[in-house]
Amino acid sequence: MTPFFQRRLLGLGLVALAALACWGLDVSLDLHLRPAAAVSGTSLLVLVLFLTLFNARKKLPFLPLLPAAVWMQIHLYAGCFSLILFAVHVGFRLPGGRLETALAVLFVAVTVSGILGLAISRWLPARIRVHGENLMFERIPALRAALRKEVEELVLGSLPATDSSTIADFYEQKLRGYFEEPRHLGNHVLGYGKPLHGILSEIKSLDRYLNAEERKIMAEIEERVRLKDNLDFQFATQGMLKLWLFVHIPLTYALLILAVLHALVAWRVV
Amino acid sequence: MKNWQEINDRAADYARPNQRWVCGRACLGAPCMEGPDAHGVCRATSECHPLRKGDRWHCTRPAAAGGPCATGPLPDGACCRPVPRCVPSRSLRSWRGLTTTAVATVTTGLLALLLASDRGRDFVSPGELSFAHSSSKSQCADCHPGIAGPPVAWLGTLTNTAAQSDSRLCLNCHHMGEAPFHAHGQSPAELAGLTQRAASRATDGTRPVALALGSLMAKPAGQAAAELACAACHKEHRGKEHDLKQLGNLQCQSCHARQFTSLANGHPAFEHYPFKQRTRIIFDHLSHLKEHFHEAQFKSVAPASCADCHEPDERGHTMQVKAFARVCAACHADQIHGRGRAGAPGIAFLRVPGLDAATLAERGLAVGDWPEFAEGRPTPFMEWLLAGEPGVPPALTKLAKVDLLDLADADADTLKAASQLAWAVKGLFFDLLNGGQPGLKQRFESQVKSPPSRETVADLTGALSADVIDSAIGNWFPRLATEIAEFRSAGKLKSARATKPPPPGKAKAGANRVKPEDWVESGGWYRSDLDYAVLYRPKGHADNFLTGWLSLTANAAALRSPQPAARVFQELAAPKAPGLCAKCHSVDDHPVPRMNWQPARFSPARQEFTKFSHASHLSLLGDQGCLSCHGLNLNAPAGSYLAAFAQDNRDSARFQSNFKPIERNVCASCHTPRFAGDSCLLCHNYHVTRLRPATTVTMKAKMQPDKLTPTAR
Percentage of the residues of chain B whose pLDDT score is greater than 90: 32
Decide if pLDDT at B134 tops 50: yes
User: B4 CA to chain A: closest CA distance, Å?
Assistant: 8
Distance of CA B22 to the CA centre of its chain: 79
Half-sphere exposure of B85 toward its Cβ, with a 13 Å CA cutoff? 8
For residue B154, give the nearest of A30, A98, A268 by CB distance: A268
* pLDDT tens digits, one per residue of A50-74: 999 998 888 787 878 888 888 999 9
Q: Measured between CA atoms, how close is B693 to chain A, in angstroms?
A: 25
pLDDT of residue B572: 93
Q: Give the number of other CB atoms < 10 A from CB of residue A262.
A: 20
Average pLDDT of the residues in B141-166: 66
CB within 8 Å: A32 and B210? no
The CA-CA-CA angle for residues B653, B659, B660, to 5°, reads: 90
Q: Using one digit for the tens of pLDDT, what is the confidence trace for A104-132?
A: 999 999 999 999 999 999 999 999 988 88
Query: In 3D, which of B278, B256, B319, B271 has the Cα closest to residue B664?
Result: B271
For residue B157, the model assigns a pLDDT of 55
Q: Which of A161, A179, A185 is nearest to A170 (CA)?
A: A179
b or e along B43-68 (b: 16 or more beta carbons within 10 Å of the residue's beta carbon)? ebbbbbebeeeeeebebebeebbeeb
Residue B502, SS3?
coil
Nearest-CA distance from B545 to chain A in Å?
A: 56
Q: What is the pLDDT of residue A237?
A: 94
Q: Considering CB atoms only, which of A25, A100, A246 is closest to B217?
A: A25
Which pLDDT score, from 0 to 100, does residue B436 have? Answer: 82
Give chain A positions within 8 Å (CB) of B28: 141-142, 145
- A55, A88, A268: best mutation site toward chain B, by most B Cβ within 10 Å? A268
Which residues on chain A are in Cβ contact (under 8 Å) with B122?
98
Judged against a pLDDT cut of 60, whether residue B498 lies above it is answered with no
Q: Which amino acid is at A247?
A: V
Tell me how far apart the alpha carbons of residues B337 and B349 are, in angstroms, rounded to a whole number: 17
Question: Where is average pLDDT lowest: B144-148, B293-297, B619-623?
Answer: B144-148
* Alpha carbon distance B434, B352 (integer Å): 18
Q: How crowded is the C-beta side of B465, counted as CA atoms within 13 Å?
A: 12
Interchain proximity B214–A266, CB inside 8 Å: no
pLDDT at B156 over 60: no
Is the pTM higher than 0.90?
no
Question: In chain A, which residues have their Cβ closer than 8 Å to the Cβ of B5?
Answer: 133, 135-136, 139, 143
The pLDDT assigned to B113 comes to 92
Percentage of residues in chain A having pLDDT higher than 90: 64
Q: What is the structure's pLDDT at A22?
A: 93
Greatest mean pLDDT range, A100-114, B461-475, B486-500, B556-570? A100-114
Contact in structure between B679 and B263 (CB atoms under 8 Å): no
Alpha-carbon B674 to chain mean position: 34
Tell me the count of A-B CB pairs closer than 8 A: 167
Quick one: which of B343, B350, B418, B408 has its CA closest to B378? B350
In sequence order, what DSSP letters do the residues of B106-128 get, joined into one string?
Answer: HHHHHHHHHHHSTTHHHHH--SP
- Rounded average pLDDT over B116-137: 84
How far is A264 from chain B, CA to nearest CA, in Å? 7
- Mean pLDDT across the stretch B417-424? 94
- Contact status, residue A222 vs residue B1, Cβ threshold 8 Å: no
> Three-class SS string for B234-290?
CCCCCCCCCCCCCCCHHHHHCCCCCCCCECCCECCCCCCCCCCCCCCECCCHHHHHH
Helix (H) or strand (E) holding B435: helix B412-447
Q: Which of B26, B99, B102 sits opposite A141 (nearest CB)?
A: B26
Helix (H) or strand (E) run with residue B311 in it: strand B310-312
Q: Summarize the confidence of residues A241-255 as an average pLDDT.
A: 95
Helix (H) / strand (E) element for B174: namely: strand B174-175
Alpha-carbon gap, residue B126 to B606, rounded angstroms: 34
Residues of A in contact with B111 (CB under 8 A): 257-258, 261
A175 vs B511 pLDDT, higher one: A175
B549 and B460 Cβ atoms separated by less than 8 Å: yes
The residue among B661 and B65 whose pLDDT is bigger is: B661
Grade residue A142 by pLDDT with cuts at 50, 70 and 90: confident
A32 burial class (0-12, 13-18, 19+ CB within 10 angstroms)?
A: buried
* Residues B458 and B395: beta-carbon distance below 8 Å: no
> How far is B282 from chain A, CA to nearest CA, in Å?
46
Predicted pLDDT at A222: 93
Q: What is the mean pLDDT of residues B510-534?
A: 80
Distances (CA, A) of B27 to A147, A200, B7, B156: 12, 26, 18, 54
Nearest to B439 by CA among B467, B479, B466, B468: B466
Please give the residue that has the higher pLDDT: either A217 or B178. A217
Instruction: Inspect the interface and report whether the beta carbons of B22 and A142 lie closer than 8 Å.
Output: no
> Where does residue B23 rank: exposed (0-12), middle (13-18), buried (19+ CB within 10 A)?
buried
> Which residues are paired to B174 by β-bridges?
B693
Q: Do B238 and A135 touch (CB under 8 A)?
A: no
- Which residues, in sequence order, are bridge partners of residue B89? B22
From the candidates B124, B152, B236, which should be mutated to test the interface with A, based on the most A CB atoms within 10 A?
Answer: B124
Each residue's pLDDT tens digit, B360-391: 999 989 899 999 899 999 999 999 999 988 89
Query: Is 70 exceeded by the pLDDT of residue B12?
Result: no
Report which of residues B152 and B628 the model is more confident about. B628
Residue B222 to residue A33, Cβ atoms within 8 A: yes
B515 or B547, which is more confident? B547
Read off the pLDDT band of B647 (50, 70, 90): confident
The answer to whether the CB of B414 falls within 8 A of the CB of B359 is no
CA–CA distance, B163 with B580 (Å, rounded to integer): 58
pLDDT of residue B153: 61
Query: In terms of CA atoms, which chain A residue is nearest residue B251?
Result: A31
Show residues of chain A in contact with B31, CB under 8 Å. 142
DSSP B550-619: HHHHHTGGGSSSHHHHHHHHHHHTSTTSTT-HHHHB-EE-SSS-EE--S-----TTB--SB---HHHHGG
The 10 Å Cβ neighbour count of residue A37 is: 20
Antiparallel, parallel or unpaired: β B174-175 and B692-693:
antiparallel
Residue B697 pLDDT > 60? no
Task: Please say if the pLDDT value at position B594 is more than 60.
Answer: yes
**B141 to chain A: nearest residue by CA?**
A269
Q: When comparing pLDDT for B165 and B356, which is higher?
A: B356
User: Given an 8 Å threshold on Cβ–Cβ distance, is A250 in contact with B99?
Assistant: yes
For residue B336, give Cα distances in angstroms to B6, B113, B526, B583, B584.
Answer: 124, 82, 17, 10, 11
Asked if A248 and A117 count as a contact pair (C-beta separation under 8 A), the reply is yes
Closest CA to B584 of B536, B537, B640, B642: B642
* CB spacing of B27 vs A142 below 8 angstroms: yes
The pLDDT mean for chain A works out to 91
Q: What is the mean pLDDT of residues B665-692?
A: 90
Q: Per the omega criterion (within 30 degrees of 0), is the bond before B274 cis? A: yes
pLDDT of B48 above 90? no
Helix (H), strand (E) counts: chain A:
11, 0
Q: Report the candidate in B641, B653, B660 with the shortest Cα–Cα distance to residue B287.
A: B641
Q: Could you tell me which chain A residue has the CA closest to the CA of B5?
A: A135
> Which band of pLDDT confidence, cut at 50, 70 and 90, is reported for residue B145?
confident
Least confident stretch, B140-149, B459-468, B599-608: B140-149
Query: B92, B144, B161: best mutation site toward chain A, by most A Cβ within 10 Å?
Result: B92
Q: Phi first, then psi: what are they for B453, rounded to 5°?
A: -75, 170
Our CA-based measurement puts residue B258 at a distance from the nearest CA of chain A, in whole angstroms, of: 15
Q: What is the mean pLDDT of residues B386-409?
A: 92
Quote the pLDDT of residue B497.
45
Of B15, B104, B215, which is closest to A257 when you measure between CB atoms? B104
